[in-house]
Each structure stands twice: as structure tokens, then as C-alpha cells.
Amino acid sequence: MTISLTSQINLLCYKIYIMKTYLLYIFLLSGNILGFGQSPIEQDSIPAKVYIIGVVHNENENRNADSLFNILISIKPDLILSETDNLSGYFKKDYSLVTPPNWYRIARKMNLIKKMIPEMKVLYSYKKYADAVSIYPFDIAMPNRRNYVKNYYKNKKKFVADINLASANNEISEKLATYHNDYVKYSNWLFETTQKGYFHLNQKVVTDSSKQMIDYEAVYFPKLFESAPRINNYKQWHIEQFNFWKIRNETMSKNILKFIQLKNAKTIVVLTGLLHKYYLIDLLELEKKENNIELLEYYESSLGK
């Protein structure tokens, strides 16, 4: 049977059409496969957002659990890290949050304490608001934390009182006059700063000034110990506290990274004492590329005050 030229041409056109359709199908299919394969990679390449919020471990009209709660609502974290440990009574051995701590309920009934500190209180209110959020303690483990804190502030108060007494009695050498005056200025600045709200507390100038103050004390106090016999009694205590301060902050930064990786968290809030903030920023800056994190301030992201 002989096929006409017209039929041959039509058959050829049909074959070309089929081939084009097949190639287009293969192209679209391969594009979908590549797209599905790349999505997790692209998602993983997005840095985790870490907001370190410096706090003061008491409340006033400018900073309290309510204002802190509003900040958390704006950020919408999937992970909150709290400056405590799983020995504090707030968390179980498996790091899960206790609701509420037995010691707190008993202490309230006995009128031994008035209120839970705001950064702990907000953990419960935000967990109720967003149940899916993960909450973990990231501080170094401290047996009898409350006793440690109580004794620390007791010694700190005596230390400052004796420095003031040494100054009033002219026991501080004239060579250290400039150091001492600057130390007093830093102390007054810190007190005034801690009376303000979280927006002010977390400004870069406050973080930088906190670092300068701690660095300044690290230079001034050793000189003071050698100059004033009254203050020399605190030398060993200060050395121990300084070394523990270093170890504690290094442990904190490692725990922050550990929990971010554990939960594969994308938006993290770290609630920590104001004077820890600069140290944690410095340490995490060194690790942010390797751990794919980005350090942010909540007020710089238009999240409000």
C-alpha cells in the first residue's frame, strides 16, 4: 500500500508533536523533582533567629511579666531558654517545665516570697498561650541555687559596703582615685539603668557599657586588693567569682547552641540576666556561622517596645 506524500508529512508532524510533548513532560517532571529535593536544603540554609533579652531578676512598673509577655507574643518563638537549671525546682531532670513548682506554692502559702520573678512567671503564661513552644533551662547546674544566689548577694553587699567605708576613711590610695571615681559612676549608672524597661535595657549602648564596666572592675579590683587592707579580705572570693563567671557564661553559650540543634528551632528567645548578655553575644558571634544562627534585637525587627 502506497502512502501519499501528504499523509507522510502529516505522520511526521504528529511524531514531532509527540516528541515535543514527551520532552516537555520530562522537563517539567525533572523540575518538580529538583524542586522537592531543594526545598529542605533551602529551608535549612535559613539562619535560626536568636533574640537575647537582658532582664533584671525583679519587677517594677517599667519591666514585669506582662511587658515581657508582649515581647514574646511579637517574636513568636518556638524555643525559649531560661537562665536556670534542672536542679532549680522549675524543671524536671528531663528538662521539662514543672507547673507550678512545689517549693513555690509552699513558699507562697508560708508568705516567704511574694511573687515569682518575671522571667520565670512569663514562661507559664506564654506556654499557656502557645502550648507548642519548647522551654528549657540553659544555665550551668547549681545545686542549692537559691542558697548560692543568697550568699552571693550577701557577700557582694558587704564587699561594696567595705569599699565605700575604705573610701570614706581615705584608705584608697590617691593613685587609684580615678579608678574609684569611675567605678562609682559605673555602679550608679547600672542602678539607674536597671530601673528602666526592657526596651532600654537591651539597647546596644547598654550592652556595650555593661561589658566596659565588667572589664573595668577586672582591672580596678586587683589594684584595690593590694592597696586597701580592708578590701584584701575579698581577694580570694573575687578570684573564685571571676573564674566561675567565665565558666558559667561559656557553659551557657554551649547549652544555647545544644538546645537550638536539639529542637531544630528557628526562632529562639534567650532570657538572661542583663550582665550576661554581652558575654553571650561575644561567644555566640564566634559560633554563628558554623551553627547557622543570626543574633537579633527584638526592637530592631519592628517587634515593638
Q: What is the 3-state secondary structure (H, E, C) of 66-122?
A: HHHHHHHHHHCCCEEEECCCCCCCCECCCCCECCCCHHHHHHHHCCCCCCCCHHHHH
pLDDT(17) > 50: no
Lowest mean pLDDT among 44-48, 69-73, 101-105, 131-135: 101-105
Lowest pLDDT segment from 3-12, 165-174, 177-186, 286-295: 3-12
User: Domain limits of the chain?
Assistant: 1-45, 47-301
Residue 146's pLDDT band, with cuts at 50, 70 and 90, is confident
- Non-local CB neighbours of 97 within 8 Å, separated by 6+ positions: 90, 91, 123, 124, 127, 135
Contact 284, 296 (CB under 8 A): no
Nearest 5°: phi and psi at 198? -65, -35
C-alpha to C-alpha distance for 224 and 226, rounded to whole angstroms: 5
Q: What's the CA dihedral at 214, 85, 241, 282 to 10 degrees?
A: -30
pTM, full prediction? 0.81
Strand partners, 81: 136, 270
Q: Do the strands 48-55 and 267-273 form a parallel or antiparallel pair, or are they unpaired?
A: parallel
Q: How much is the pLDDT for 204?
A: 96
Residue with cell 540543634: 261
Given this model, what pLDDT does residue 45 score?
A: 83
Contact (Cβ atoms closer than 8 angstroms) between residue 166 and residue 230: yes
**What pLDDT, in 10s, does the model give residues 90-111?**
898 888 898 876 666 777 677 6
Contact 228, 172 (CB under 8 A): yes
Give me the chain's average pLDDT, please.
86
Under DSSP, is residue 228 helix (H, G, I), strand (E, B) or coil? coil
- CA angle at residue 222 from 216 to 226, to 5 degrees? 140
